[in-house]
Structure 1
Amino acid sequence: MNEALTNYLDNHRRTIQVELTKYIHELSIPEQLKESMLYSIDAGGKRLRPILLFASYETYASDFSKVLSSAVALEMIHTYSLIHDDLPAMDNDDFRRGMPTNHKAFDEATAILAGDALLTYSFEIISNDSNLEAEQKVELIKMLANTSGPSGMVGGQILDMQAELNPVSLEELENIHALKTGELVRFAVYAGAYLGNASKDKLQALNDFAYYLGLIFQVQDDILDVTGDSAKIGKSVGSDENNQKSTFPKLLGLDGAIEQKNNYVKKAKNALILADAENSYLMMLTDHFSQRDH
């Protein structure tokens, strides 16, 4: 990774972490609920989704204050989804980011409620943002609800569960992950460009870009579950196989999954060129998403 991108990622990670903890600390809520929410927020993570939102916005504009609430809301929803994914009824994971999962550190009921709290609080954060116009708030809340709800991430999650026992085609696997993983990526790219006043043509090209970027992210996740280092990933490798997940390596073989990922990378970069974003951090992040080792 080049130094410019390393500094960019580090600076934006610090920014989003400060904002995330600030919003939770200011809540007057039961202490156990707050501790559980902070436990998963403070566990860290790559923060790639809010960073992607920042990068999309900065491709077209510079008034950074306009995107902070959307970035915080997005990462809260991502964190909620991880808390719920780790539960015994879902993926039944004991570790996340090298730490005991939320339901192991607290209990299942508290973990469920912490996830619920992060989900619902995210919409309140956007609605209270004085830097946004009313029309912008409505558009962002509508988009975030769509991408994280039954037509997006949640719908993809149940399709992913159903695919554990039923072999799927490549087209079906792409659809699962375009929803489960890709929809929050799509929100990140759309929200940033929308708030940056990108044209309709550029928004359409970025929508195509986000579709392929979400698939890139998921294919690399699947590859790392086969070849990765558990110490870097923060959870056990091979969990997809143990949970009988439908994955790109399982369907295409490891070499086939790598080839498919490279095909998505080419299509994502072509879409960025159409969006006049070939010299942006979005282009650099595409390579980062495809080559990351954790």
Structure 2
Amino acid sequence: MDIKKFGVVGAGQMGNGIAQVAAMSGVDVIMNDIKSEFVERGLATITKNLSRSVDKGKMTAEEKDAVLKRIRTSTDLKDMAEADFVVEAATENETLKFQIFRDLDKVCPENIILSTNTSSIPIGRIAAQTKRPDKIIGMHFMNPVPVMKLVEVIRGIATSDETFKTTWELSIKFGKTPASSEDYPGFIANRVLMPMINEAIFCLYQGVGTKEDIDTVMKLGMNHPMGPLALADLIGLDTCLAIMETIYDGFKDSKYRPCPLLRKYVEAGWFGKKTGRGFYEYK
């Protein structure tokens, strides 16, 4: 399948990053969100990222302008009817995602693949909201999208081989390295990552070490580029909690229980970098 127009639902941290890499690959993009201020903010982030690349000599000003011209903003989900392939990158909220997929199923032609950037919600449950379960697949980009090379491609129980092949090839076209995962809560990336982050939070909660000590041990001892608590702040503590709850609900295994301190921070509105306060403070 030749993908010439790519739809992105959600213009936030993940959505605008996905829109950027798609446009940089030469594909026309429709970036959608529910409010014009959200899509404008997303476009401003893309512009800032591209300007930084120009300043570093990684691209020319003309190339930057060409990328931006390929991105069209939208606040009407019906615009997705024009797309050859759609990825949903809304907040990690099951109810919201289910409604988006029900709406996309009505709007988009029946031959169009609808993918989701979900971090943990089972693909089969999302596919069940539609009349095209064979064309529903997970296309999980990593944050920050323009920098991270991985795309986790997750096939649900009904996902067709053709849908998988198209998504895999599209990931490569976007300059990413795809990896295949079966449809279990948390998939591969977050089933491994989130319990590690959660255990780091337990270490802080139980006074095993300070946040700085915990992050230093993981950076210098395990050669991680950043510590788990700083990484949690970057991902968003609300997102971390949502993922841990999904994994815990899926397996009912106590090793996946979210740390009470994580829940306490989220309830206080301390979501991390995006709110200015998480395990660390951000000015």
Check whether TM > 0.5. Answer: no
| Larger relative contact order (Cα-Cα within 8 Å, sequence gap ≥ 6) | 1
Choose between structure 1 and 2: higher strand proportion: 2
The TM-score normalised by the length of structure 2 is 0.31
Q: Which structure has greater helix proportion?
A: 1
